[in-house]
Chain A
């Protein structure tokens, strides 16, 4: 999303929001919504849920603006805290523990801010609107996972990488990928499947024994270990 032409500072926007100025909230949305959405998506792996979290985060700002303290965290960091906690709530509701990520791992280029915020959270100093999860150990510090996945993607042949990125992040169908890249549909299918296989192989090797084992291809019933004959189909 393009940066808003409104050049009010975040502090000025928060002052406006406290005064009930919805246009200030709109500017805040334009400035920060994409980052909040990305963080939630990286944590949840589901766009619908990430949309819910973004909506709740913006509403929390509107309804609880008085809780924001710029001495503790920057406005983006506060937004990320709320989004992270709402995302963790959803992971819990789905019966899944957030076993993979810390905020700093999911935050991409905002990593250092995220790490500082994690530290602030650990001190219990942040915002009643976004309480610290009662089980802080549930958010395993796994900085490096994102980098490992990015490296695995970067290691794919360029065509395979393009195919899997357009399918997974671009949400294009195989027909749409074929059209956009001028490839036959069969080529798209082959390249996305190969990309997935290759990615799994790399991640199984590079993620360490515990996580790596979770993503390694599962042998078919009766199938011999790698190098053996195919099992029954």
Chain B
């Protein structure tokens, strides 16, 4: 892929937000995506062009028209989530031995160190900035994980399924949750791994997973469903909002 093709691909992606925009083009697992990433990794000017297009995207978003509306389907999901939070809280789940978590945290730390090491060795400014960003994200994830481990009522759920394996940590006092997997394969453009908690047969959407190298994760406060975690609750990761679960745990 030459400069002109790479720039054309990026410009077209910026103007195709329904397909996931620039970030989807960068994560595209097809041969075109591979060639684009390879070109950007080796071409500092085109990496700067990518940064410029990201800035243009942010600027265009500021000018979104007043007619822009929330998707109609969202109302039902939000109100279903509200219905869930109205349920009375169950008794806390007993703690599990904390030492079980140490290998997991060590594995995440190893990923951070690995990416940080790669970042140090990268020659191109664009590559280094991207790696630095990933390191920052992973450090945020580590910090969130450690905060949950300090929660006196945290819960760990192991995930398994066609997507491999993963883990969920829930701080029942803080209401924060991290979910991550290092085995999930990359998805085609426009698709994301979506996280849900299922209680009483009703799924509450939690959020979609972000990507860092070899690690898919979600981290943030749980606001759609009442914590603590209850016996019978399940955590699901699906391919797309309406896709089949690829990771399940907790039942």
Contacts and interface: CB of A to CB of B under 8 A. Distances in A.
Interface residues of B, number: 59
Given A48-B192, A55-B74, A196 B11 contact: yes
B223 A173 contact: no
A37 B69 CA distance: 7
B2 interface: yes
Interface residues of A, number: 73
A43 B74 CA distance: 19
Interface in B19-76: 19, 21, 43, 45-46, 48-49, 51-52, 55-66, 68-71, 74-75
B101 interface: no
A153 B61 CA distance: 12
A199 B59 CA distance: 11
A171 interface: yes
Contact of A55 (B83, B86, B133, B205): B205
**A contacts with B: majority SS:** helix
Nearest to A100: B58
B208 interface: yes
Interface string B213-226: 00000011101100
Most buried by B among A105, A169, A203: A169
A146 B15 CA distance: 19
Nearest to A109: B66
Q: What is the predominant secondary structure among interface residues of chain B facing chain A?
A: helix
A169 B68 contact: yes
A215 to B, nearest CB: 5
A61 B71 CA distance: 20
B62 A101 contact: yes
Interface in A181-221: 192-193, 196, 199-200, 203, 207, 211, 214-221
Among B75, B79, B137, B223, the one with the most A-chain Cβ atoms within 10 Å of its Cβ is B223
Contact of A196 (B15, B43, B85, B133): B15
A52 B207 contact: yes
Contacts of A55: 74, 77-78, 81, 205, 223-224
A22 B79 contact: yes
Contacts of A38: 64, 66, 68-69
Given A29-B78, A34-B70, A93 B62 contact: no
B91 interface: no
16 contacts: A51-B70, A55-B78, A59-B85, A93-B140, A95-B140, A100-B62, A101-B62, A105-B62, A149-B62, A153-B63, A171-B18, A172-B18, A196-B14, A219-B45, A220-B45, A221-B43
Given A29-B78, A145-B62, 20 more contacts: A1-B69, A22-B83, A29-B75, A29-B79, A33-B78, A34-B69, A56-B224, A59-B82, A59-B223, A63-B223, A89-B220, A101-B62, A106-B62, A146-B62, A165-B65, A168-B60, A203-B59, A216-B52, A218-B52, A220-B45
